[in-house]
Amino acid sequence: MPRIAGIDVPDKKKIFFALQYIHGIGPKFAGDILTKAGVDANLRANEVEEQALAQINAVIDAEYLVEGALRRQVSQNIQRLKDIKSYRGDRHRKGLPVRGQRTQSNARTRKGKKKTVAGKKGVKAK
What are the structural domain ranges in the chain?
3-64, 68-111
3 pLDDT tier (thresholds 50, 70, 90): confident
123 pLDDT tier (thresholds 50, 70, 90): low
Q: What is the pLDDT of residues 36-68, one digit of tens each?
A: 999 999 999 888 888 999 999 999 999 999 989
Long-range Cβ contact pairs of 20-25 (< 8 A, separation 24 or more): 22/60, 22/66, 22/67, 23/66, 23/67, 23/70, 23/71, 24/64, 24/65, 24/66, 24/67, 24/70, 25/60, 25/64, 25/66
Judged against a pLDDT cut of 70, whether residue 72 lies above it is answered with yes
Specify the CATH class of 68-111 in words: few secondary structures
pTM of the model: 0.75
Average pLDDT, the chain: 89
122 pLDDT tier (thresholds 50, 70, 90): low
Judged against a pLDDT cut of 70, whether residue 126 lies above it is answered with no
Q: What is the CATH number of domain 3-64?
A: 1.10.8.50
